[in-house]
Structure 1
Amino acid sequence: MASLKGKLYAEFCVFITGLPKAAVISHMQVLKGAAGLWAFGATAEDIIYITLPLYHSAASLLGIGGCIELGATCVLRKKFSASQFWSDCKKYNVTVIQYIGELCRYLCSQPVKNHKVRLAVGNGVRNDVWREFLDRFGAVKICEFYGATEGNICFMNHTGKIGSVGRTNFFYKVTTYILLCKMEKRSERDRRGCCVSQEPLRAGLLISQVNAKNPFFGYAGNKRHTEKKLLSEVFKKGDLYFNTGDLMVQDHENFLYFWDRIGDTFRYNQYFFLHLFIKKQTCYDEHALYFIVMDNIQ
């Protein structure tokens, strides 16, 4: 029998800097991902609608894996269609849907239709879209979560608190030991050379301890990039932490909120943009990427 920590396959994901890397996916990660729908309250009686691409871990691990784990029915659409979404939900009696990022905003522009959807599971929905979605489509519980394909940490918002990706608690502190580190300076260390924990309501870098109970499996055939994702001697000699590359804010009730992503990538409509792709175009002497504000657009 294969070990739970044994490699099952590799899946491409976006690194903090540079081109996508093939993350090693273990049997353990597949089982954890498949338990996500169950953890949010889905059951074998649910009908789960998946419009996300299957090369995305949200669809493959959480969606398909979750349906198999539950024994639930899966309605799989080849490509997302905002205009057909609610019609499909009504036609197939869908009760659980998956989303990422702007998908919910696209749905908010569609006419309100009768449906049986009770759970929407995903990540990346903005606060204003979250509120509008609930106002338009009734008693649908938004189940926002945070995680990375190659990461060793996951948060789940079970309370429906708008904007939050989840909440830290005693369990996290004992089993995974996560924290937010100060990032005001490039290297935020105290006199002992240790990282400094961030105070509430201030953005800090999310890191998670790597150990036997909470392993990081790295990138296939790429030891250098695997090592670049790790921080050593964070609080004491010999400790090791996974660097998520994400800035988070924690409030006084221990709810976490995604703030920003460090590095040279940014996400738009769930596509990652990297300056390296543009740099490869020889027709440009110089280039720069920056945000502009557009009405009703992310």
Structure 2
Amino acid sequence: MPDSLVTGPAADTEPEPINAVPLRRPGRWLAAVVLLVLLALFVYGAKTNPAYRWDTYRKYLFDSRISHGALVTFELTMLAMSIGVVLGMLLAVMRLSPNPVLRAVSWLYLWIFRGTPVYVQLLFWGLFTSLYRTIDLGVPFGPQLLHLSVQNWTQPFVFAMIGLGLNEAAYMAEIVRAGINSVGDGQREASVALGMTWGQTMRRTVLPQAMRVIVPPTGNELISMLKTTSLVTAIPLTTELYGVARTISGANFQPIPLLLVAATWYLAITSVLMIGQHYLERYYSRGVSRQLTARQLRAMTQVHEVGK
């Protein structure tokens, strides 16, 4: 008999509440206790170990040379990442272009820069003035459009920025390409039906929707770029954070506390970048989750009260 037709005392009775007993998981608590004990032992051992030289660590933690090196590292990270993002988006669009020449050039670029270590690439940029004396652009047997004397270029910061940016562009191209491919084909077909060209479709329709997929790995690449700046000593560039710490440790013969100082500054800058990445991801993820924010809940409550 259907429930709607049931009458009498049976229809008025409510089901008894279920007394759910949570499962006991002693293994989790045991693992947590073991990890906490190991962490406490490590902290105590590091604090009492004189080889760490915590007095030297405190002395140089806020040294002006270290803080200036951290600023140079941050600037180098941002500038190189800007080059990588812009050039990576261009390479990704070229990779997906119907033009076979553009696809071949993009594939060749990715093959070279992803197939060689970044340290080797930076070494080549450090020897750039030995490889080329001048840069001449123009038509053969015709007018010369550009003439640059490379021998006068003595700025290692510029070479480090270019080297890191060009290497990062190869990885950003694959990230952007994955984001573009995540957008449905119906979006492109609708844009073409509206009369947009292929370039307009990418710029106005596909790329804005692909940002939700592009932003998270881009934040990871930014953090990775911050740590990769320690390799620019191959150029050589010694004014960034690791280079300054290594220079100071070479003078006082105490590398361990200076490495801890550099690691602390790297962790601090990385933490700031992770916070920015979190808010940026939340901005581009709007509309994906059904969970309402506090502001949206207040607005819906006000509308409901007005309706009453």
TM over 0.5: no
Larger Rg: 2
Instruction: Report the structure, 1 or 2, having the larger strand content.
Output: 1
- Structure having the higher helix fraction is 2
TM-score normalised to the size of structure 2?
Answer: 0.20
